[in-house]
Structure 1
């Protein structure tokens, strides 16, 4: 005789499928319940009662339809079972006090009773049966949620299931594990055998899952911390100008990426970290390239500014000789050459162009001043040569006054063309005053 018949199984199966779509346990609970029902279909013994059916499904689906359970129990229960239950309850009812005493949690009382009249320990067996079922069910759920987690919510739900399983295991009397309650199990159809090995396996399984949960939680904390550090560093980096603070942010960013790599890959957080790692490294390399370009561009700008500073310093306190102006021009040209090395795609290109426009203007001014200095020197040279010739003519016998005045006029015109602000400006003014004074004296004769 089977404990669960096909017609009852089909009724229950339909309701399980419907409950799995509504209940939080979902597919995990449905697999566990259907596995139990399949086991009952293969097991020989008395047909499952309504209470037994409840025990099989209620721990997974508390809202399981009672009307469906009653219907399944009705088609599954063979005739004659209900009178046996009533009779058994009536017999037990007469020994309430004795049963209460026999079920006290003291080995010195339960051991003799278990050997001589084990039926008196029915309440203890019922409690053991209930806690055993709950423990097994919760261990199965915990295993599904913890070891096959797809999100941190599964781990968090698994934490609660493990605690519940531990609580039910704690209710099992370890000292009584070697005593299999044959009378109770023949009457109620137990699915278990209380053995110490089985108990220890359950304990070890719970212990492994507790360790797994601890590892998962720690790994997820590290993952969350690293992810947050990456986001903060990335956002901060974009707002910082090149410098020491930006370099420090890069170090924090790299450390956070390294932390992602260290998260154990067998954990849920490790799997999430591996997915994010490629993106994080790509973004970091892109920004690092940006920084490298900025550093190179800034280095060239700094070098150009050094040459420009020297040129500006040397241009102070004019006038300057042509040689000095040529040296200034070389400094401006070197500064410009450094700026022209910065490509258009470099982050410092815009700033470099501003400096380039300023330095090019200064170079043009220096080149103009150089030419002005050269022209002034050449004019003074011409004037001096003309003065020497005039003096030679003036010392001759019977000099031609008209010719002397004409030459003085040319000399004066030449000296008047010498621009101000050159190294020969003062000399040209002195020569000009002398030439004008001489011309005035000649004009009076």
Structure 2
């Protein structure tokens, strides 16, 4: 396609065979020439130049200069990585947690151990700070929360101690620290470790005292509730004894601990509650001793009477202990009004418990006799088998059944008697139905 160019003057440019046409736009024919000249053919280089001239303004591309710059960036990056990475690697290698290796580095190039020095310094300062806070919380606690917080501080202090390699520090480590503001001192570190152990031991005692106080408080409250819900004198006596023992254990909590100090304050109210609920006496020392001894006998009697059945001899011993308790209470004179009043109240309870034991003792003796008689009759019946008639055998079996049925529940012979009773009834039924 021909390209025309319009100018301010119309001028025809003649074609010359020795001179090639301009590279981009051919000259258009003038109107006066009377004919349109054909454009000259373009070489391959001219076409490439035209295409490049049209492509460059609209399409971004990399120049040769930029490509050269990019090719030079990678070597610079590698160089930078080597410059930075090699020293970092050397420092990391020097600070490996190997005591022998650190000895050599500390002698030759201590500056390389700066990360280790800094880490140890922070650990030592953390140890001292946490120990000081833990000491305030554990030595002068105001509540259990202070002890818990003190325990947390001790844990942090122990972690700081574990980060300090004491063996390396105690050798020739400090000789290389002339250039570093080091807070560590050998004596200070030894003192801190000793203080840490002391505080841990004291915290352990405080925690044990707290546990003992909680346990005794629970026992006291449970014993009080059991006393209020008890329906028999024996149950009341056992509950009162447990209640009193709980108060005694609470008084044994060490007063050197926070729990012990709290226990002494609580004991005033607990003892007052015990006195109002169970009742105490205000008599002389002899009266107090007599009632205390009576309570001990009653407690032992009630304890031994638990989990029946028992043999008759044991019930007899329990009866004796209840009587011992009653005898001591009966020695208190009416002149001691409060003591006598308390003693009479206890005598009523103890006699009721003694009566229960007496009933059980009688049932045990009777059941043992009935079971023994039934066994003798069975032996006699077996020995005379074949000699007596049917009516005689049925009569003997019925007598054995009656004896076995008289054995009381809750006695030592009851279970065995039930086995023989079933056997005797089955034999009696078989014999009655036999021809």
TM-score by length of 1: 0.42
Task: Please identify the structure whose Cα radius of gyration is greater.
Answer: 2
TM-score by length of 2: 0.43
